[in-house]
Amino acid sequence: MFATIIMQRNCRNWRLDNGACCCVGLKTMDEQENTSSNPRIGSGVRTISDLIEVRLSRRTFVAGLGASAVLPVAACSPTEETPVEVAKSAVFDFPEITRGLDGMHHVAEGYRADILLRWGDPLFADSPAFDPFAQTAEAQERQFGYNNDYVGYWPLEETEGGRGRGLLCVNHEYTSTPLMFPGLAGRKPTGEECAVELAAHGGTVVEIKQGADGLWETVVASPYNRRITAGSTPMELTGPVAGDPRVQTSEDPSGRRVMGTMNNCAGGITPWGTYLMAEENFNGNFLGSLEGGHPETESYARYGIPGGWYNWGVFVDRFDVSKEPNEPNRFGWVVEVDILDPQSTPKKRTALGRFKHEGAESIIAPDGRVVVYMGDDQRFDYVYKYVSTQVYTLDDREANMDLLEDGTLYVARFDDDGTVVWLPLIFGEGPLTPENGFQSQADVLIDTRLAADAVGATPMDRPEDVEPHPTNGRVYVMLTNNIDRTADQIDAANPRANNDVGHIIEIIEPEGDFAATESRWEILVRCGDPTDPEAGATWNSATSENGWFGSPDNCAIDPSGRLWVSTDGNQVTGAADGLWALATDGEERGAGQAFFRTPVGAELCGPRFTKDGKSLFLAVQHPGDGDDATFEAPMTRWPDFAEGQPPRPSVMVIRRNDGGTIGS
C-alpha cells in the first residue's frame, strides 16, 4: 500500500488501458514539478565547498518521539476519530487527530466538517444536475469545477443578526481525467471530454451565506456567481508584455486578448478585493513540436513545453504548438479578477512574471506600495516578490485597480549568512541585456525563469505558497520537497540532499518593510519524521507523534496571527495529507499539531479562515486518486460514497460544535 501511495503522486492524468500515462515517453504533472528544467543545476551552481556556515534554526531541535502509528486503508465509510491526549499547548487548544490513512476525512473532536461545494454542484438557476455519465462542456460551464485548490473569501455586508455573507473564490487546478470520465480504459478522451476538461479548469466565484445555526450554504443564482474557465472566458493581457510579437497568434494578432486561464493552483485576494488566480502547470496542456531552430526553443525547454499531458491539442489548434507556437507564452501568468463585477474581463498581469505560479498573496508595505509574494513550483526554481510603483489608497477601490500593472519583480537569493537579497528583474540592468538574449522588458517577463537564472537566484526545494503575516513582518515560504538535490547541491536555505519531505522558511522583512530589497531568513522547521535520525527533521519537542508532517504546500494565518499548514505529499510518510497548526513564536516555536486529514489519494488546499476565526474553508483535491485509480475503481468514493459514482473534489467548511474560535 505504501508503495502504491508513493507512486500515485506521479500520475494524475488519464491513462491508456495498459495503465501507462497518456503522455507515454513524457512526464506527468508531479514528475514535471519534480524534475528540474533549470540549466544551472548540475553545472555546479553552489557546492558544499561554497558553504560558509550551515545555519540551523536557533530555536528548533529534534524531538524524541515514539514510533508513528500508520493505519491501514479502511473501507470507504466514515470512521470515528479517537482523540489523543497531548501536552497542553500555550498556542493552540484542540485535541489532535491521529496519523492514519483511510477513505474518509477526519477532524479534531469537538469540530464538524461539512461539505459546502462539490465538483458538479450547481451555481446558477439554470445549472443542470450533476450527471457524471452524461457530461458536457455546456453543463460544466454552469457547475462547480474540478480539483479545487485555492480558496479566498471576500465578505459582503452581513445579513440580519451578524451572520456572515460573502464571496468564495475557488481555483480549479487541473482535471484527473481517469477519475472524471467513465469507460476511459483502452481509448483516449474524445473532443467533447476535452471540452469538459477545459470547462472544469479555471475558477469559481460564488456567494455563500451563514444560517442562524452558523452553518454555510451557497446562494445559487446570486448575481455575483461566475465560472471562469479555460474554454470560454476571454481575458485581457496587460502590462509590459501586452501586444508583444511573442504573444500574438492567428486568433489574436493584437497579442492582447487570450481565451481562458488554466492550471489555477493557489492565488490570493488583494486588499482592494480582487481575486488573483495563479497559472501553474500550463506547459502540460500543449502538444506538438517546434520546427528545428525555432526562436522559442530555449524558452520552451526552460518551462517544459510542450508537456503533452492532455489530448486537447488534437481537437483545439491553439494547444498544438506546431500550429500556434506563441500560445504557451499567453499562459503562466497571474490573473486578476474583479469579483464585484461578474461581467468584467479578467486581466493577466504580466508585470508579475511568467512561471509555474503557485500563489499570489499580497500585503501593503509601510510606504503604501503593494507587495505580492510568489513561488515557482518546480524543483530548483525560485521565490519572487512584486512591488508596485504606485501606492495603495485606503477606501478607494477604483484607485487601486491597476496597482499590479506597473512595478518591479524581484527574485530571491538566500545567502548562507541569513540574508535574503531581492534581485530586480529589469531589462538593461545587470545581465538582462541583448547580449544575453533579452531585447525588452517583455522578454524578461516572458522568460522570467531565464532572467532569474541570469541574475543568480537561489534554486529552492519546490516553492509552493509564500504567505506574508499581516502583523509581525514575517513571510512563510512552503518548500514542498526535492529528492533530486544531491549532497553537493545543498546550501543553507536548502540544507538536505534527497529532501522528500520539505521544509518551511521564515523571511523576516526589516521593520516590517515588505518592499525591502534585503531581508533576513531562517528555517522554521525541517519536516519529516523526528524519530528517524536520518531524516534530519527539526521539530520542537512539544510535537507529538501526530504533530509532524511532510510536504508543506498551502498555508494560512488565522485572525489570531497563528500559522496553519496544509500538505501535498505527506503520504510518502505513510499517512494522509491534512492540516496542521504550527507554532511560530515562544517556547513552542516549531511545534506541530494535527487538526484535519483528507481521505486517501487527496491533498489538502485552501485553507482560509473567516475574519471572526470561527469558520475555516478547506479544499480537498483529487480524493481517491492513485496510480491505477479510475472512475470505475477509485481509492475512495468520498464524499458521496454512492455505488458506481466517482469521488468528487470538494470544499469543506469547518466549525467548532459550540460555534467558538477554531484552534482556541
Question: Which parts of this chain interact with ligand FEO (CB under 6 A)?
Answer: 173, 265, 280, 358, 377, 464
* Residue 568 is a binding residue for Ca ion (CB under 5 A): yes
Task: Give the integer Cα–Cα distance in Å for 485 and 503.
Answer: 13
Which of 310, 392 has the CB closer to ligand FEO? 310
Beta carbon of residue 280, minimum distance to ligand FEO (angstroms, whole number): 5
Place of cell 454512492: 642
Helix (H) or strand (E) holding 441: helix 441-446
Chain positions 310 to 339 lying near Ca ion, rule: CB under 5 A, are: none
Task: Give the integer Cα–Cα distance in Å for 107 and 657.
Answer: 12
Residue 576 contacts residue 600 (beta carbons within 8 Å): yes
Which of 544, 567 has the CB closer to Ca ion? 567
Partner touching 484 among ligand FEO, Ca ion, none, CB below 5 to 8 Å by kind: none
Which of 280, 415 has the CB closer to ligand FEO? 280
Beta carbon of residue 460, minimum distance to ligand FEO (angstroms, whole number): 12
Beta carbon of residue 379, minimum distance to Ca ion (angstroms, whole number): 12
DSSP state of 229: -
Residue 652 contacts residue 607 (beta carbons within 8 Å): no
Beta carbon of residue 527, minimum distance to Ca ion (angstroms, whole number): 13
- Residue type for 117, please? L
Q: How many Å from the N-terminal Cα to the C-terminal Cα in the chain?
A: 36
Number of Cβ within a 10 Å radius of residue 312:
23
Beta carbon of residue 459, minimum distance to ligand FEO (angstroms, whole number): 16
Phi-psi category of 428—alpha, beta or left, where left has phi over 0 and alpha has psi -120 to 50? left
Burial of 583 (0-12, 13-18, 19+ CB in 10 A): buried
Q: Which of 168, 118, 169, 125 is nearest to 145 (CA)?
A: 118
Alpha-carbon torsion 482, 488, 493, 499, what sign?
A: positive
Which of 265, 565 has the CB closer to ligand FEO? 265
* Residue 553 is a binding residue for Ca ion (CB under 5 A): yes
Partner touching 280 among ligand FEO, Ca ion, none, CB below 5 to 8 Å by kind: ligand FEO
Beta carbon of residue 564, minimum distance to Ca ion (angstroms, whole number): 15
x/- letters, 424..463, toward Ca ion (CB under 5 A)? ----------------------------------------
Which of 122, 463 has the CB closer to ligand FEO? 463
Alpha-carbon torsion 610, 616, 617, 621, what sign?
A: positive
SS3 371: strand
Residue 45 contacts residue 493 (beta carbons within 8 Å): no
* Residue 244 is a binding residue for Ca ion (CB under 5 A): no
Which of 484, 568 has the CB closer to Ca ion? 568
Task: Give the integer Cα–Cα distance in Å for 202 and 231.
Answer: 9
Residue 97 contacts residue 594 (beta carbons within 8 Å): yes
Which of 377, 558 has the CB closer to ligand FEO? 377
Which of 57, 499 has the CB closer to ligand FEO? 499
CA distances from 442 to 245, 421, 425 (A): 10, 23, 11
Residue 378 contacts residue 449 (beta carbons within 8 Å): no
**Residue nearest Ca ion (C-beta atom):** 568
Task: Give the integer Cα–Cα distance in Å for 426 and 585.
Answer: 37
Which of 474, 622 has the CB closer to Ca ion? 622
The region of 190-198, 338-346, 547-555, 628-636 touching Ca ion under the rule CB under 5 A is: 547-555
Which of 280, 500 has the CB closer to ligand FEO? 280
SS3 496: coil
Which of 358, 443 has the CB closer to ligand FEO? 358
Number of Cβ within a 10 Å radius of residue 185:
16
Strand order in the sheet with 592-597: 106-107, 592-597, 578-582, 563-567, 552-557
DSSP state of 134: S
Beta carbon of residue 622, minimum distance to Ca ion (angstroms, whole number): 8
Which of 265, 444 has the CB closer to ligand FEO? 265
Task: Give the integer Cα–Cα distance in Å for 127 and 222.
Answer: 13
Beta carbon of residue 265, minimum distance to ligand FEO (angstroms, whole number): 3
Task: Give the integer Cα–Cα distance in Å for 71 and 601.
Answer: 15
- Count the residues of the shown chain that bind Ca ion, applying the rule CB under 5 A: 3
Beta carbon of residue 30, minimum distance to ligand FEO (angstroms, whole number): 9
Beta carbon of residue 467, minimum distance to ligand FEO (angstroms, whole number): 14
The string of DSSP codes covering 304-344 is: T-----SSHHHH-GGGBTTT-TTGGGG-SSEEEEETT-TTS
Beta carbon of residue 555, minimum distance to ligand FEO (angstroms, whole number): 13
The dihedrals phi and psi of 573, each to the nearest 5 degrees, come to -90, 0
The string of DSSP codes covering 505-549 is: EEEE-GGG-TT-SEEEEEEEEE-S-TT-GGG-----TT--TTT--
Beta carbon of residue 482, minimum distance to ligand FEO (angstroms, whole number): 13
Hey, which residues does 621 pair with through a beta bridge?
603
Chain positions 458 to 487 lying near Ca ion, rule: CB under 5 A, are: 464
Task: Give the integer Cα–Cα distance in Å for 329 and 327.
Answer: 5
Partner touching 96 among Ca ion, ligand FEO, none, CB below 5 to 8 Å by kind: none
Could you tell me how many residues make up the chain?
A: 664
Which of 91, 360 has the CB closer to ligand FEO? 360
Which of 62, 460 has the CB closer to ligand FEO? 460
Q: Which of 141, 72, 142, 61 is nearest to 102 (CA)?
A: 72
Which of 193, 568 has the CB closer to Ca ion? 568
Catalog residues that contact Ca ion under the rule CB under 5 A: 464, 553, 568
